[in-house]
Amino acid sequence: MKNRLKVLRAERDLTQEQLAQLCGVCRTTIHAAETGRAIPNGDTIFRIAKALGVPITDIFVE
């Protein structure tokens, strides 16, 4: 599934490590989500959206 996670994170001047810390996950989780190698579970997606200050629907694209 394609997403805008990397763009949204960069717009907020956050590193993968910083976003991971805000979300309570490891950096590899953020990296895997950004590259499309893995889809985070619902709780993690919610925490990512909250940390970025966007609705979940703004993260994922078709």
pLDDT tens-digit map of 13-58: 999 999 999 999 999 999 999 999 999 999 999 999 999 999 999 9
Give me the pLDDT at residue 60, please. 86
Considering its fold, how many domains does the chain have in total?
Answer: 1
For residues 34-43, b (16+ Cβ closer than 10 Å) or e, as one string? beeeeebeee
What residues make up the domain containing 43?
A: 5-58
User: CATH number, domain at 50?
Assistant: 1.10.260.40
Backbone phi, then psi, for 60, in 5-degree steps? -100, 140
Residue pointed to by tokens 């993260």:
59
